[in-house]
Amino acid sequence: MSYLPYTDGERAGLLAALGLSTPGALFEDIPAAARAGGIDGLPGPMDECALAAHLTELAGQNDPAATPFLGAGVYDHYIPAALAGLVSRSEFATAYTPYQPEISQGTLTGIFEFQSHITRLTGLDVANASQYDGASACAEALFMAVGQTRKHRALVSRGVHPEVRRTLRTYARFRGVELAETDTDPQGQSLTGLSEALTDDTAAVIVQNPNFFGVLEPMTAIAALAKAGGAAAVAVCDPLSLAVLKPPGACGFDIAAGECQPLGLPPSFGGPHAGYLATKESYLRRMPGRIAGQTTDAQGRRAFVLTLQAREQHIRRDKAVSNICSNQALCALTATVYLSLMGPKGLVKAAALSAIHMDDLRRTLVSQYGFTQVFDAPFFRECVLRPPEGAVCDWGYDLSADYPELAGARLLCCTEKDGAERRGRILSAWEANR
């Protein structure tokens, strides 16, 4: 009876109002051959005190600090103390999708602000209320491109996150879209590979910036390439990097998609985070997911509503642009509040400090520890480095499974939290263990 709100006597009263003594009669539509007498084999029930101890013990079996310089798509940025308390407020957390706008202006205003923040970071016209994650957002971007161009082939660079590429592969397979992967060049960049593979029947060119190796791509040239080939240009961008990097809209991209985790969301073993999706006005009606819009009520007061819903599954059913119903509202709100707290100056600092810290680490590892830098191109807050022959290094992300040609090389990452002192401690400990 853990969360049932009444006594046995009160329950009997409700049953009596229906002329019943037990709830069993309410389940008589279930055919006898399909009936179960309870659920076997589950643990519990546990009192909250015991459950809390159990959960604390499980959490203690994890060691979040064990691997230094680990990024590869999930980043350990500083989260302002004000953030958690705001977004965990019950009024945000325990509301449903804002179908009743009159009593959902908090959620709806938050979505509108999220859309505004994302368009300003990406330099594109419109954004939706968020997607499940960056990878599924990219899959939706692919389908937008296919719908717009009416072509069924897409190019994705191997510089795109391996998990994003795998997700794209799954979505594309069942939708009948041909997906071709293109190699990066010796600089770790994608332009050459993409331009060799581009054909007239290409719907989308998908590139990540900074790419999975941390390397900055020649974005303007890639967008121009896609445009010349009649394909939609899709950029996968880390929104935090857009504090300093040229936005995909300004580079000529049609769609930007990516992962909001760097914007104040804890790693949480991979989720929940939030994907974002932004595009040009001309693609608006192909964009999936919730979109909040501004309007007025009968008294002329500004109000926000979910809008352009005729794109969506609950109206369009089999002709909807996507099946997505929810967004990641609370995670998108977290990103929104993070950006509002940090402001432009704070965000630039987070990006710049991360980049400097990584560059400092690279320089130290190359000049003092015998590491080699694999790609000689500008990078943001991650860099592929090969430890000296014979050295055991388990920092960061091991590239060998996804990129056999880079076996032994590590993808290292720094954020604003990896200052000289922290880096020094990690390097000393490593040196001492060699």
Partner 1 sequence: MADVKAGLYYSSEHEWLRADDDAVYLGITDFAQSSLGDIVFVDGEPVGSQLSAGDVAGVIESVKAASDLYAPVSGVVLAINGRLAETPELLNEEPYACWIVKLTLSNPAELDGLMDAKAYAAFCEGL
Partner 2 sequence: MSKVIYEHGRPGRGTDYLPEVEVDLAALLGVDNLRGAPPPLPEVGENEVVRHYTNLSRLNYGVDTGFYPLGSCTMKYNPKIGEAAACLPGFAGLHPYARPEHAQGALRVLYDMEAHLSRICGMAAFSLQPAAGAHGELTGLMMISAWHESRGDTARRVMLIPDSAHGTNPASAVMAGFTTRQIPSDSRGLVDLEALKGALGPEVAGLMLTNPNTLGLFERDILEIARLTHEAGGLLYYDGANLNAILGHTSPGAMGFDVVHVNLHKTFATPHGGGGPGSGPVGVTEALAPFLPVPRVVSTAEGLRLETDRPLSIGRVRSFYGNFGVILRAYAYILRLGGRGLTEAAEAAVLHANYVRAKLRGVYDIPYDRVCMHECVFSAARQKEHGASAADIAKGLIDRGFHPPTMYFPLTVREALMVEPTETETPETLDAFIETMTELAALAERDPDALKAAPLSAPVGRPDEAQAARKPVLTFKE
Q: Give dist(CA 39, CA 19) in Å, integer.
A: 27
Question: 367 contacts which partner out of partner 1, partner 2, none, CB within 5 to 8 A by kind?
Answer: none
30 contributes a contact to partner 1 by CB under 8 A: no
Position 47, amino acid: D
CB 197 within 8 A of CB 226: no
Question: 408 contacts which partner out of partner 2, partner 1, none, CB within 5 to 8 A by kind?
Answer: none
274 contributes a contact to partner 2 by CB under 8 A: yes
Q: Give dist(CA 300, CA 159) in Å, integer.
A: 50
Task: Name the residue among 40, 46, 37 with its Cα closest to residue 2.
Answer: 46
**Given the rule CB under 8 A, which of 46-54, 150-158, 188-196, 368-376 is the region that contacts partner 2?**
46-54
CB-wise, 188 or 247, nearer to partner 2? 247
H helix or E strand, kind and range, residue 95: none
**Given the rule CB under 8 A, which of 183-191, 194-202, 237-245, 425-433 is the region that contacts partner 2?**
237-245
CB-wise, 143 or 276, nearer to partner 1? 143
Q: Give dist(CA 170, CA 306) in Å, integer.
A: 30
Those residues whose C-beta lies under 8 Å from the C-beta of residue 411, and which sit 6 or more positions away, are 71, 72, 212, 213, 214, 382, 383, 384, 396, 397, 399
316 contributes a contact to partner 1 by CB under 8 A: yes
**Given the rule CB under 8 A, which of 70-78, 150-158, 179-187, 229-237 is the region that contacts partner 2?**
70-78
Task: Identify any residues that bridge with 127 across adjacent strands, giving them in sequence order.
Answer: 278
319 contributes a contact to partner 2 by CB under 8 A: yes
- Compute the least distance from the CB of residue 310 to partner 1, in Å: 4
174 contributes a contact to partner 2 by CB under 8 A: yes
Q: Which residue has the tokens 């909250």?
A: 48
Question: 266 contacts which partner out of partner 1, partner 2, none, CB within 5 to 8 A by kind?
Answer: partner 2
Joined tokens for residue 178: 């041909």
For the chain, how far is it from start to end, CA to CA, in angstroms? 57
Question: 202 contacts which partner out of partner 2, partner 1, none, CB within 5 to 8 A by kind?
Answer: none
**Given the rule CB under 8 A, which of 150-158, 199-207, 228-236, 269-277 is the region that contacts partner 2?**
269-277
**Given the rule CB under 8 A, which of 17-25, 184-192, 195-203, 363-371 is the region that contacts partner 2?**
17-25
| Binding-site member from 263, 339, 361, 412 for partner 2 (CB under 8 A) | 339
**Given the rule CB under 8 A, which of 104-112, 308-316, 322-330, 339-347 is the region that contacts partner 1?**
308-316
315 contributes a contact to partner 1 by CB under 8 A: yes
Question: 185 contacts which partner out of partner 1, partner 2, none, CB within 5 to 8 A by kind?
Answer: none
What 3-state DSSP class applies to 224? helix
| Binding-site member from 53, 180, 228, 325 for partner 2 (CB under 8 A) | 325
Does residue 262 have a cis bond before it (omega within 30 degrees)?
Answer: no
H helix or E strand, kind and range, residue 34: none
Joined tokens for residue 328: 């990641």
309 contributes a contact to partner 1 by CB under 8 A: yes
CB 156 within 8 A of CB 166: no
**String of contacts with partner 2 for each residue 375-404, x by CB under 8 A:** ---x-x-------------x--x-------
Question: 129 contacts which partner out of partner 1, partner 2, none, CB within 5 to 8 A by kind?
Answer: partner 2
* Nearest 10 degrees: Cα torsion 401, 217, 338, 168: -50
325 contributes a contact to partner 1 by CB under 8 A: no
282 contributes a contact to partner 2 by CB under 8 A: no
345 contributes a contact to partner 1 by CB under 8 A: no
Give, as ranges, the residues between 229 and 288 that touch partner 1 (CB under 8 A).
Answer: 285
310 contributes a contact to partner 1 by CB under 8 A: yes
CB-wise, 40 or 318, nearer to partner 1? 318
247 contributes a contact to partner 2 by CB under 8 A: yes
**Given the rule CB under 8 A, which of 101-109, 307-315, 327-335, 418-426 is the region that contacts partner 1?**
307-315
Could you give the count of Cα atoms lying within 13 Å of 24 in the half-sphere of its Cβ?
Answer: 7
Does residue 68 have a cis bond before it (omega within 30 degrees)?
Answer: no
- In this structure, are strands 202-209 and 232-237 parallel, antiparallel, or unpaired? parallel
What 3-state DSSP class applies to 30? coil
CB-wise, 132 or 283, nearer to partner 1? 283
CB 281 within 8 A of CB 262: no
Those residues whose C-beta lies under 8 Å from the C-beta of residue 359, and which sit 6 or more positions away, are 383
CB 197 within 8 A of CB 191: no
427 contributes a contact to partner 2 by CB under 8 A: no
356 contributes a contact to partner 2 by CB under 8 A: yes
CB 255 within 8 A of CB 226: no
Rule CB under 8 A: which residues touch partner 1? 285, 308-310, 315-316, 319
